[in-house]
Amino acid sequence: MAKALVVGGGVIGLLTARLLGEQGYQVELVERGSLACEASWAGGGIVSPLYPWRYSEAVGALAGWSQGYYPALGDKLRRGTGIDPEVRCTGLYWLDLEDEDKALDWAAALGKEMLRVDRQKVMSRIPVLGGRFARALYMPDLANVRNPRLLQALQGALQVDHNISLVSGMSVDRLLVERGRVVGAKTSSGTVTADCVVLAAGAWSGELLQTLGLNLPVEPVKGQMILYKQEPDFLSAMVLAKGRYAIPRKDGHILVGSTLEHVGFDKTPTDEALASLKASAEELLPGLADAPIVGHWAGLRPGSPEGVPFIGEVPEYPGLWLNCGHYRNGLVLAPASCELLKNLMLGEEPIVDPTPYSPAGRLGWRPIA
Ligand SMILES: Cc1cc2nc3c(=O)[nH]c(=O)nc-3n(C[C@H](O)[C@H](O)[C@H](O)COP(=O)(O)OP(=O)(O)OC[C@H]3O[C@@H](n4cnc5c(N)ncnc54)[C@H](O)[C@@H]3O)c2cc1C
């Protein structure tokens, strides 16, 4: 039985482990902190890029595949573990977009339902909206997933899979190379050998590749979020204006995000972001002015050029596979990214053309002495 070492216990590492375990791999997933506590927990869980028409086809192809798959994934996990990831199709309203025509052209070209809705109709459907907008576009089919629950359900599913071992509190410090091939890693608790290593370490993925002389252009991009609690029927759809969004959960929690900050690996929540998010929340949904903020946190997105993730084997080091750099879209892209990686590892027909995600030619390399 082939053994895979998966580095990182976020949504990408957990889903990768699940798919490889199902294929009969013996999988050891190593997480430096606690499982599922970094970006994958901190994110909003919109099952779409925020402005999908502004992304390349490479991001669109993975997003489209995942969107089709999410409801089945949610059901399967709920039935298998009793934990409901709450994949809910609430739809999303964009208010006062400056590139409406581009958005509509994009939707028409892909046969997706996107509607112009006049202001009055939006207000009648979502009376809690602040009235300071003139126009809206609406996609009824867009969903959100309650990502902390998704991660709990995934962990629950993996814990009962005998092919998989989940190890937390152990860091992978260096990759092991023998005769040019990656054969495992040195960890904080000793050596782990494996037939292949999958790097799914989110914003930290570049650190490990540096030890091999590889320069992975993945950088942390901090995002802060605030959380409100309202009655369950307060807000019926996701809304987005001026780059800020509100996401309703089934039980009345409402997430408002997010900031985009290039401040290295610091993920301390700040008062400045709190005030700015609160102002956006109250402009979008004035009723939130009287509601208590019940949570405020930050996470580090794995920023990559154009937000196109790295998925595939590293040509300079056979045995080393990447699944990282999902930037703002790792939750929506996760199912497709992990399926594609599995396709490539097993030599299966890939679900989408793998070329744009290939690490080949996208990493700087200097041989190490
Ligand atoms: C505020 C915010 C809002 C977001 N909203 C959305 C959204 O609505 N929709 C969407 O699709 N995406 C969203 N995202 C983006 C999404 O959360 C990320 O793209 C995704 O979670 C990345 O997943 P990951 O598994 O690669 O990284 P992570 O979840 O960060 O997991 C990486 C893991 O690797 C571990 N690790 C790192 N180095 C090592 C090592 N050396 N050894 C062992 N373990 C290691 C880390 O501890 C971490 O647990 C948002 C992100 C943020 C911050």
pLDDT in tens, 269-305: 999 999 999 999 999 999 999 999 999 999 999 999 9
Nearest Cα residue to 342 out of 138, 223, 196, 205: 196
35 and 179 in contact (C-beta within 8 Å)?
Answer: no
In the reported structure, the alpha carbon of residue 160 is separated from the centroid of ligand 1 by a whole-number distance in angstroms of 24
pLDDT band at 170 (very low <50, low <70, confident <90, very high): very high
Query: What CA–CA distance (Å, rounded) separates 163 from 330?
Result: 25
Q: What is the pLDDT of residues 307-350, one digit of tens each?
A: 999 999 999 999 999 999 999 999 999 999 999 999 999 999 99
Q: Which residues sit opposite 164 in a β-bridge?
A: 27
Give yes or no for residue 55 having a pLDDT over 70: yes
Which residue owns the Cα nearest ligand 1 atom 53? Answer: 299
Tell me which of 37, 38, 296 to substitute to probe ligand 1's pocket, judged by most ligand atoms within 8 Å of the beta carbon: 38
Query: What CA–CA distance (Å, rounded) separates 67 from 223?
Result: 23
pLDDT band at 239 (very low <50, low <70, confident <90, very high): very high
In the reported structure, the alpha carbon of residue 129 is separated from the centroid of ligand 1 by a whole-number distance in angstroms of 31
Across 113-130, average pLDDT: 96
Query: What CA–CA distance (Å, rounded) separates 225 from 227?
Result: 7
Give yes or no for residue 84 having a pLDDT over 80: yes
Helices (H), 111-256: 119-125, 147-159, 205-210
Three-class secondary structure of residue 97 per DSSP: coil
Q: Does 40 sit in the ligand 1 pocket, CB within 6 Å? A: yes
DSSP 50: S
Q: Does 309 sit in the ligand 1 pocket, CB within 6 Å? A: no
Residue 125 half-sphere exposure, CB side, CA atoms within 13 Å? 16
Across 216-245, average pLDDT: 97
Residue 152 half-sphere exposure, CB side, CA atoms within 13 Å? 12
The pLDDT > 70 percentage for the chain reads 99
DSSP 323-342: EE--GGGHHHHHHHHHHHHH
pLDDT band at 85 (very low <50, low <70, confident <90, very high): very high
CA dihedral 80, 343, 215, 319 (to 10 degrees): 100
Write out the two tokens for 39: 């970006």
CA distances from 158 to 23, 28, 29, 162, 170 (A): 13, 11, 10, 8, 18
pLDDT value for 81: 98
pLDDT value for 62: 98
pLDDT value for 1: 85
Please name the helix (run of DSSP H) or strand (run of DSSP E) that holds residue 217, with its range, or none: none
pLDDT value for 58: 98
pLDDT value for 285: 98
Across 102-120, average pLDDT: 97
Give yes or no for residue 368 having a pLDDT over 90: no
Query: What CA–CA distance (Å, rounded) separates 52 from 137?
Result: 13
Q: Which residues sit opposite 191 in a β-bridge?
A: 186
Write out the two tokens for 173: 């410090």
Residue 93 φ/ψ, nearest 5 degrees = -105, 130
Nearest Cα residue to 5 out of 156, 165, 161: 165
pLDDT value for 354: 98
Question: What is this structure's pTM?
Answer: 0.98
Across 176-182, average pLDDT: 97
186: region left, alpha or beta (phi > 0 left; psi from -120 to 50 alpha): beta
Q: Does 88 sit in the ligand 1 pocket, CB within 6 Å? A: no
pLDDT value for 132: 87
Nearest Cα residue to 6 out of 220, 153, 187, 156: 187
Which residue owns the Cα nearest ligand 1 atom 31? Answer: 10
Domains of the chain listed by start with CATH number: 3-44+149-218+305-365 (3.50.50.60), 92-140+220-303 (3.30.9.10)
Query: What CA–CA distance (Å, rounded) separates 5 from 191?
Result: 11
Which residue owns the Cα nearest ligand 1 atom 27? Answer: 202
Query: What CA–CA distance (Å, rounded) separates 311 from 304?
Result: 12
Residue 131 half-sphere exposure, CB side, CA atoms within 13 Å? 3
Which residue owns the Cα nearest ligand 1 atom 15? Answer: 328
The owner of tokens 């997430």 is 255
Task: Please name the amino acid found at residue 345.
Answer: M
